[in-house]
Structure 1
Amino acid sequence: MTEFALDAPVLVRPYTARRDGDFAVIGDDSRQVYLSIPAEGLDLLEWLRDGATVGEAVRRFEATHAASPDADAFLQALADEGFLAPAGAHDPPPDAEPARARRAGHLEWLSPHAARRLLSRPVLAVCGVVVGVAVAMAVDRPGLVPGPSSLMFHSHFWAYLLVVLGIAVIGVWLHELAHVVGARAAGTSARMTVGNQMYAIVAQTDLSGMWMASKRERFVAVLVGPLVDVIGAALLFITLWLNDVGVLGLPEPVRLVVAGVLFTSFIRLLWQTFLFLRTDFYYLITTALDTRSLMADTGAFLRNLVRRVLRRRLIDQSGVGRGEMRTIRIYAVVWVLGRVVALAVLFTATIPLLWFYLVRVVGFFRGDEMTGQFTWADVLALAMLSFLLDGGGTLMWLRSLRRSSRLRRRAPDRVLVE
């Protein structure tokens, strides 16, 4: 544990800060570490940064806020995250959590001014017109709206599947690229990565730098991804409508691909409503409610319920306001029910599907005869995608669970935000 003498100054490492009501966010962009602290805590940190000793900063705090701060705990928490150290120190404290290595963001060449023009009101107005036209066409011919059957190809299944999936991946890439543009419009960096949400492999964008942006800018960066999905779906439906009325003469294979890709757009939008995962709409709600770590605080709340039953020491959540705690209690129900359903799908659909294709792939290499309407090319294509997406996602999830377990063993009484 780091010791801070009252009569000595403190080494405060460079940081940026943004006040937001009763709280402030401090960040070290070089390490991509961001913390939410009480606004009065930022006063204390700024006095220390300006050269005041710990004792002088505490006395200023008492004179300004008419209260005595728990300086030891506050300074220790900041030291653990590498924001400060005793005077004379040159390296981060040995017990600090390792920060993520700073990596260059995508579209760094795109200036904030240019990014804001891409998200300007005229551009959004044009997008609104396109969506409005598509909605009117859907009302005119609702039978053109594709359903799950649009992915049930009765011939050349493997070829259709790979083409539809390839185009859908491009749509996912555009979705994530839009998030990066939203971050650049706020003057921050963002990076697209591949990760997992439970057992599903997902593309995602690291928007950590948006903690330092305004609430409006955070809304834009979050919403622009689903907006791209909606625009893409609208353009695809307009294509189907124009073909149906005879303006376009699409070959039947092309029409089938367009309908299949459109349905995958619906699936992506539906995915964003899974609030028990870190989806775009989850971040939209947390931004609207000013809950800075809703999922992590909910996890601590649920673990405390178990700890009360087992009569173990509780995780300290005294810093969570009453209004935010009400939100956490409601969200806990959504989180538990969502995870139960997701686990049920894993054990009743995903794992049996993986086993189904594993048996058939083994049969293929043994020379078994193929039965049914699928060819071996169809089965191998489905097996490859299933093992890559479902199997790979499950392995990544298990690895993240092990990592979380190690972190909790090291700090059992802390709220861990991952």
Structure 2
Amino acid sequence: MQPLTRAEDPEVSFQELEFRPDRDEWIVGRQGTDEIIALPGIGMDAIRLLSAGRTVEETRSSLRASTGRDVDVRAFVERLASAGLVASIGERRFPVAQTPVSLPRVRAHHVRWLMNPVLHAVLLLVPVAGLAVAVTRPGTFPSWDSFLWTEYGTFTVLVQCLIGWCLIALHEAAHLLTARATGVRGRIRLGTRLQFLVAQTEVSGIWLKGRRARLTVYLSGIVLDAVIWGGCLLARAWGADFVLLPVVVATLFLALANQCLVFMRTDLYFVVQDLTGCRNLFTDTTRYLRHVAALPFGRRAPHPLRSLPARERRFVKGYAVAVVVGSVACVAIGLQVLTQVTWRLLHRALVHLTDGSDWWSLLDALVTALVLVALHGLWMRLWWKRHGERVRRTVRSVRERRGRRSGAASPEGASRPGGAS
């Protein structure tokens, strides 16, 4: 038997991979990509053998000798290449696409101190102290009227937007910098969740790190919010009377409360997902809900959770209930806010624009209307960017089904309008 040539039995080189054990599998991936995969132990053995310089067939023979199983290493390597984990297979090269990174000049050694547990303990004392002082001193907590700190809608809306987005920027920076401290790249971008316009930090590479690092990154934004919130409460308790201090406290209170909406993939959602051991809780739940929604229409398909362990299936089904109930409630509240606050504020602005008010009222109304329209326009644009292709596919699918039904309903040989009699 002639020995195989290098072209027929190539060596394989990988990108800079990271991996960690997870139950009876291995989590494998590389930084700078969203492709993080789970492999069985034999798959990890194959990667180690290939990384040591074994060819594809040599690796296959070694695995057969050690496990008694005949593994198609060539197909396995091709799948790894499609996931962006392979640098070369023989003479074939797989270039790495550059992914956007926020604050690229910040290196891990610049911010490694953020992972110090002593720092974490000290930071947690601030919100605890602020809450304790606020509970013992009535009047420290601001009322909802704090948002209406001026009679002019322009100042109210613009200042609230400025405060809100500054706090959001700090929140996302906490995620980004703690992730960077562990060696994970990331980027901050805008997105939508239900009716909310949100900023979010993409740090998929944190899945390759240990649990302590993962939980630190997930909770870092909440901790920073709580520290600022606690500091503002302490300042109010000690007599600070800055007019916008209550606005900051109330805004952060809402932000911390919103983190409990785990059905919207908030920071606490990722904590829950990690602690329950679910690999992709939201995606599995979405597939399960689509499966359940299709049952009344007679669409029978394999159960989407059949491959999951029983414990994980229970978590997915429980989370599915939370998603449905929470989404319905959140949309209902959002519609109330839209009709009772946003539309009324917009209507008031339009009235001032048309009733010949003084120039200051006209300017106030114009800016208020422009800001409201701009914010909702930005939300619509981001929503369509994320969901537009899915909407188009759904519309095409509905049209195709209607076309097939109408075609099936027309008997062959039926006369057409304008046809020969």
Q: Common fold, TM-score beyond 0.5? A: yes
Distance in 1 between residues matched to 2:372 and 2:285, nearest whole Å? 32
Q: CA deviation at 1:201?
A: 1.6
Structure 2 counterpart of 1:340, one-letter code: V
| Corresponding position: 1:295 with 2:282 | yes
Partner of 2:325: 337
Partner of 1:192: 188
Partner of 2:267: 280
Partner of 1:229: 225
Aligned residues: CA RMSD:
3.5
Distance 1:271 1:48, change over 3 A: same
Cα deviation per residue 1:161-185 (whole Å; 9 max; x = unaligned)? 4334323322221111111221122
Contact 1:175–1:228 under 8 Å retained in 2: yes
Match of 2:93 among 90, 94, 99: 90
Cα deviation per residue 1:39-80 (whole Å; 9 max; x = unaligned)? 432222333444545554444444444555576875554343
Structure 2 unaligned residues grouped into runs of 5+: 1-6, 396-421
Partner of 2:389: 403
Partner of 2:203: 207
Contact 1:47–1:57 under 8 Å retained in 2: yes
Distance in 2 between residues matched to 1:273 and 1:209, nearest whole Å? 24
Contact 1:9–1:87 under 8 Å retained in 2: yes
Structure 2 counterpart of 1:38, one-letter code: P
Partner of 1:416: none
Partner of 1:412: none
Distance in 2 between residues matched to 1:67 and 1:361, nearest whole Å? 73
Distance in 1 between residues matched to 2:390 and 2:61, nearest whole Å? 39
Cα deviation per residue 1:350-394 (whole Å; 9 max; x = unaligned)? 3675554555555555x33569xx944554444334333334223
Distance 1:403 1:109, change over 3 A: same
Distance 1:52 1:403, change over 3 A: farther
Q: CA deviation at 1:226?
A: 0.6
Cα deviation per residue 1:10-63 (whole Å; 9 max; x = unaligned)? 645414131223222222335453223334322223334445455544444444
Give the alignment of 1:27-176 within 5 angstroms: 27-65=29-67, 67=69, 74-75=76-77, 77-84=79-86, 87-91=90-94, 101-106=98-103, 108-112=105-109, 114-153=110-149, 155-176=151-172
Q: CA deviation at 1:266?
A: 0.4
Distance 1:129 1:358, change over 3 A: closer
Which 10-residue stretch deviates more, 100-109 or 268-277?
A: 100-109
Distance in 2 between residues matched to 1:79 and 1:39, nearest whole Å? 19
Distance 1:134 1:327, change over 3 A: same
Give the alignment of 1:220-369 within 5 angstroms: 220-243=216-239, 248=240, 250=241, 254-255=242-243, 257-309=244-296, 310-314=298-302, 317-350=305-338, 355-356=343-344, 359=347, 363=351, 367-369=354-356
| 3-state DSSP of counterpart to 2:37 | strand
Distance in 2 between residues matched to 1:100 and 1:352, nearest whole Å? 47
Distance in 2 between residues matched to 1:312 and 1:76, nearest whole Å? 32
Distance 1:145 1:54, change over 3 A: same
Structure 2 counterpart of 1:233, one-letter code: W
Structure 1 unaligned residues grouped into runs of 5+: 1-5, 93-98, 410-418
Q: CA deviation at 1:288?
A: 1.7
Q: CA deviation at 1:151?
A: 1.1
Contact 2:30–2:205 under 8 Å retained in 1: no
Contact 1:307–1:314 under 8 Å retained in 2: no
Distance in 1 between residues matched to 2:262 and 2:311, nearest whole Å? 19
Q: CA deviation at 1:233?
A: 0.6
| 3-state DSSP of counterpart to 2:263 | coil
Partner of 2:415: none
Which 10-residue stretch deviates more, 345-354 or 23-32?
A: 345-354
Which 10-residue stretch deviates more, 175-184 or 317-326?
A: 317-326
Distance 1:125 1:80, change over 3 A: closer
Q: CA deviation at 1:234?
A: 0.9
Distance in 1 between residues matched to 2:237 and 2:114, nearest whole Å? 28
Identity of aligned residues (%): 25
Contact 2:124–2:223 under 8 Å retained in 1: no
Distance in 1 between residues matched to 2:39 and 2:394, nearest whole Å? 22
Contact 1:199–1:397 under 8 Å retained in 2: no
Distance 1:12 1:146, change over 3 A: same
Distance in 2 between residues matched to 1:384 and 1:8, nearest whole Å? 65
Residues paired across the two proteins, number: 386
Which 10-residue stretch deviates more, 338-347 or 201-210?
A: 338-347
Cα deviation per residue 1:100-157 (whole Å; 9 max; x = unaligned)? 7412342633443x52324424433432333333122112213321232221335234
Structure 1 counterpart of 2:331, one-letter code: L
Structure 2 counterpart of 1:279, one-letter code: T
Q: CA deviation at 1:231?
A: 0.7
| 3-state DSSP of counterpart to 1:143 | coil
Distance 1:42 1:385, change over 3 A: farther
Give the alignment of 1:375-386 within 5 angstroms: 375-386=361-372
Question: Taking structure 1 as the reference length, what is the TM-score of the superposition?
Answer: 0.79
Distance 1:160 1:280, change over 3 A: same
Distance in 2 between residues matched to 1:406 and 1:13, nearest whole Å? 38
Partner of 2:373: 387
Distance in 2 between residues matched to 1:225 and 1:28, nearest whole Å? 24
Contact 2:232–2:249 under 8 Å retained in 1: yes
Structure 2 counterpart of 1:90, one-letter code: R
Distance in 2 between residues matched to 1:240 and 1:182, nearest whole Å? 30
